[in-house]
């Protein structure tokens, strides 16, 4: 067996174990950077790092390992490119449900899209530490233990941040948190 054969086996193992999780990696990077192009760059850099250190990976939980690398890469990228977004915060300090539409009528589809935009805006508005735990738990369905390992914080901190993120989302999506629409008088619309 030559040296290239071992390298090919490592590359094949990397592709088999890591590449299925690229969508999750992109999803986390997209929510943390809030930009498609930046997320692609971050995931590419994270994959290069993961490939470089793949021989040190032990265990069978590749997804949390990869997402931890993506998270660290995102924070490094943010510190370098958008330092104002990476801020310290104090951790001492109802999820919204949407009903499925009854029909796929244009008005129902438009309302569903508007709700999706409100939810996406609310998530994007969360401070990054809260946004990351919410994304890892609710969108990537990771356990608290995996999130704690990825974020390098105790499980209690994950639970606290997730609780606060959910409260912030609830407030942002409540009628009081939405912009107030004013009624236009009929005379101004040309109606009777």
Question: In this structure, is residue 141 part of a structural domain?
Answer: yes
Question: In this structure, is residue 130 part of a structural domain?
Answer: yes
CB 9 within 8 A of CB 29: no
What is the pLDDT confidence band of residue 147, given thresholds at 50, 70 and 90?
very high
Question: In this structure, is residue 155 part of a structural domain?
Answer: yes
Burial of 72 (0-12, 13-18, 19+ CB in 10 A): middle
Q: Is the Cα torsion angle 156, 157, 162, 163 positive or negative in sign?
A: positive
Mean pLDDT of the chain: 79
Number of domains in the chain: 2
Same domain, 114 and 49: no
Same domain, 14 and 76: yes
Domain, as residue range, for 117:
106-173
Same domain, 21 and 79: yes
Same domain, 8 and 75: yes
String of DSSP letters for 111-177: HHHHHHHHHHHHHHHS-HHHHHHHIIIIIT---HHHHHHHHTS-HHHHHHHHHHHHHHHHHHHSTTT
What is the pLDDT confidence band of residue 99, given thresholds at 50, 70 and 90?
very low
Share of the chain above pLDDT 70, in %: 73
What is the pLDDT confidence band of residue 139, given thresholds at 50, 70 and 90?
confident
CATH number at residue 44: 1.10.1740.10
- Per-residue pLDDT tens over the stretch 37-69: 999 999 999 999 998 888 888 877 899 999 999
Q: How far apart are CA 59 and CA 43, in angstroms?
A: 22
Same domain, 71 and 120: no
Same domain, 61 and 119: no
Same domain, 81 and 117: no
Verdict on whether the full-model pTM lies above 0.75? no
Take residue 116 and report the two structure tokens written for it.
């999706």
Same domain, 19 and 78: yes
Give the residue-averaged pLDDT of 148-172: 93
Same domain, 19 and 80: yes
Same domain, 77 and 134: no
What is the pLDDT confidence band of residue 101, given thresholds at 50, 70 and 90?
very low
What is the pLDDT confidence band of residue 92, given thresholds at 50, 70 and 90?
very low
Give the residue-averaged pLDDT of 85-102: 43
The domain boundary residue, chosen from 39, 54, 85: 85
């Amino acid at each position: 067996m030559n040296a290239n054969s071992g390298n090919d086996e490592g590359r094949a193992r990397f592709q088999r174990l890591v590449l299925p999780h690229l969508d999750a990696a992109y999803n986390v990077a997209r929510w943390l950077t809030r930009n498609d192009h930046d997320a692609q760059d971050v995931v590419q850099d994270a994959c290069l790092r993961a490939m470089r250190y793949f021989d040190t990976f032990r265990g069978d939980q590749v997804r949390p390992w990869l997402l931890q690398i993506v998270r660290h890469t995102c924070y490094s990228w943010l510190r370098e490119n958008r330092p104002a977004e990476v801020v310290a915060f104090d951790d001492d300090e109802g999820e919204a449900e949407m009903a499925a539409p009854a029909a796929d009528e244009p008005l129902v589809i438009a309302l569903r899209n508007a709700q999706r935009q409100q939810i996406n805006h609310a998530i994007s508005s969360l401070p990054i530490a809260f946004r990351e735990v919410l994304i890892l738990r609710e969108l990537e369905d990771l356990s608290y233990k995996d999130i704690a390992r990825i974020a390098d914080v105790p499980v209690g901190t994950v639970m606290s941040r997730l609780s606060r993120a959910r409260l912030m989302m609830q407030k942002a999506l409540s009628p009081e948190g939405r912009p107030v629409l004013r009624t236009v008088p009929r005379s101004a619309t040309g109606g009777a």
